[in-house]
Amino acid sequence: MENNSDFSTFIMTGFGEMENMKYLYSLCTLLGYLIILSLNLLLIVVIALEESLHKPMYILICNLAVNGIYGSTAFFPKLIADLLSDIHTISRAGCLTQVFFVRTSTGVEITILAVMAYDRYVCICNPLRYTSIMTYSVLSKLLAVMWIHPLLVFVIVLMFTERLPLCGSVIHKIYCDNWSIVNLSCVDTSVNNIVGIFAVVLVIGLPVVFILISYILILQESIRVSKEAQGKAIQTCSTHIIAFLSFVFTFLFEVTQHRFDIRNVPHSLRVIMSVQYLIIPPLLNPIIYGVRTREIKIKIIKLLKKRV
């Protein structure tokens, strides 16, 4: 076994047969990235320009779009460059940087969804007190927490990862992730595993539990009231539920990569499974909120007509 703690470059071996059609894959990846940027930017511009949309729910949707661009930019440009290159390498500092941006984007995504669930809970269960509870002051504090909390947690995680001496430089994926770097270590990584578990619980687990509790309370409130109110509650929450489920199911694919032996799964399918949570949410979110949220849809059509 190699015993060298000074590896400064990692080799990405996850591309496999993708190299045989690298120009097609790179073109598809570029188009996907441009579509994600365009859709999310359109959503941000519409919400920013229309004063009638300067409300908590739409501000949170805008933050979701900003995070979609943030996470996608940490993933797609490097992937496109690797697809076009014959050498798939990344510096150790670059790898840790990509891990930080990708993971914090994931954490911010689910935290925003948790705050949105709380916003829907207040709107449906305490409609008369909504404006006094979801003030701009409260919203500003929630926005600060949902961005800073994941950033701080993953800074700590990467501090533990960065100190590890490494005995290898091969990452069997098409992008960097913390678990792959930890597996290259020459020493016991029990502490890293414990820190990683705590990070997942704090950044992913708690928001998911919070979302589930919010919707249980909303469901209980809806059962007590009229069918008309139930219909309005379902209509109000359906968009958020779709966004939440898309995040959960795509993130489960990534968890499967680490927790189960899937070496018998075809390589191309493994690659698709590993990148679902980086592609589907930022692509799907602006479509969901742009199409299913009536106020946003009207403003988008109005803006596009004005430009035409």
Q: pLDDT in tens for each of the 308 residues of the chain?
A: 344 455 788 988 888 767 778 888 899 999 999 999 999 999 999 999 888 889 999 999 999 999 999 999 999 999 999 888 888 889 999 999 999 999 999 999 999 999 999 998 998 888 889 999 999 999 999 999 999 999 999 999 999 999 888 888 888 888 888 888 998 888 888 999 899 889 989 999 999 999 999 988 888 887 777 666 666 667 667 788 888 888 888 777 776 666 665 566 666 677 777 788 888 889 988 888 887 777 888 888 877 777 65
For tokens 């069997």, what's the residue? Answer: 172
Structure tokens at 4: 């060298």
Structure tokens at 200: 């997942």
Nearest to 300 by CA among 285, 283, 286: 286
> CA 182 → CA 18, 110, 166, distances in Å?
26, 24, 8
Which pTM was predicted? 0.88
Distance, CA of 100 to CA of 208 (rounded, Å) = 21
pLDDT of residue 167: 86
Query: Which residues have a Cβ under 8 Å from the Cβ of 53 and sit 6 or more positions away?
Result: 46, 47, 295, 296, 299
CATH number of 9-307: 1.20.1070.10
Distance, CA of 245 to CA of 298 (rounded, Å) = 25
Structure tokens at 107: 């954490």
* Single-letter amino acid, residue 161: T
pLDDT of residue 263: 61
pLDDT of residue 4: 46
Rounded to a whole number, what is the largest CA-CA distance in the chain? 69
pLDDT of residue 127: 85
pLDDT of residue 308: 59
DSSP states of 17-61 as a string?
A: GGGGGHHHHHHHHHHHHHHHHHHHHHHHHHHHH-GGG-SHHHHHH
Distance, CA of 296 to CA of 52 (rounded, Å) = 10
The answer to whether the beta carbons of residues 78 and 104 sit under 8 Å apart is no
pLDDT of residue 218: 86
DSSP class of residue 128? G
Which neighbouring-strand residues pair with 11?
Answer: 89, 170
pLDDT of residue 22: 82
pLDDT of residue 221: 81
Distance, CA of 149 to CA of 136 (rounded, Å) = 19
